Structure 1
Amino acid sequence: MSNPMQTHGAASWIQHSGSDPAAARKFYETVLGWSVADMPMQNGSAYPGIMVGEAPIGGFMPQPAENGEWTIYITVDDVDARYQSALDKGADGVEAPTDYPGVGRMAKIRDPFGASIAMITYESMQG
């Protein structure tokens, strides 16, 4: 099985954003039986990672957000080029390409049909 964090076009991460991250974490731990582990970040903070077996598949954004949503991250070979291609084809830029040390480069778009998706090139792919 290929690694979705290194495979262009693969869904590789899910992230919950909402008004009460701690309550959302408890809700999904109970409802879905998820195990959530605090993953240390380079800046000294912790990110609540959703674990399936020994591997994280997503997490809960620690900072509260006004509007709740799940974001799906798709691994891409070049965030900047794919982001620009989406804009050229009618998408709205939600978050411009940005580097996140220890993770990778990310961007978020809203497609012409109203759905949002995030693109990521993980540091492990950047050679």
Structure 2
Amino acid sequence: MGYSGPNRDEAVKFYRDVMEWTLTDLPMKDGSSVPGILVEDELIGGFSPEPADQGVWTVYITVIDVDGATDKARAAGARILSEPTDVPGVGRIAVINDPCGARIAMVTYESMQK
């Protein structure tokens, strides 16, 4: 049976099997965690397989400058769901809906910050 809903374990198995991703748990400020995607032991992104209203989920994309990317997204027609904010132990994150409605979290990890 394939992935059909918000079951985190099923989503992790699906992406490990289909994409052959190496995944790790990324701790969140609230004590929960989301799956992080590794390439050669380097964290490059993550995802939240718990669908929100209307069945969307959040993809985490690594960017060099969250604040700059948020400004560019806003200018290009994105709706800003969460302005750039610092998340201790993770980095700086902003969440947007792109002009087509996809939810994306842009992240600059602490290890990338100067």
Cα distance, 1:95 vs. partner?
2.1
**Number of residues paired by the alignment?**
108
Equivalences for residues 1-127 of structure 1 within 5 A = 19-38=6-25, 46-61=33-48, 64-66=50-52, 67-69=55-57, 71-77=59-65, 79-127=66-114
Cα distance, 1:92 vs. partner?
1.2
The TM-score normalised by the length of structure 2 is 0.62
Q: Which has the higher helix share?
A: 2
* Structure 2 letter corresponding to 1:124: S
Higher relative contact order, structure no. (Cα contacts within 8 Å, ≥ 6 residues apart): 1
Q: Which has the larger radius of gyration?
A: 1
Offset from partner CA, 1:5-64 (integer Å, 9 cap, x none) = xxxxxxxxxxxxx611111112222333334334566776554333444334433437x3
Offset from partner CA, 1:98-119 (integer Å, 9 cap, x none) = 2111121111223334444432
* Structure 2 letter corresponding to 1:65: P
The TM-score normalised by the length of structure 1 is 0.57
Q: 1:57 to 1:124 in 2, by over 3 A?
A: closer
Question: What is the RMSD computed on CA atoms of the aligned residues?
Answer: 3.3
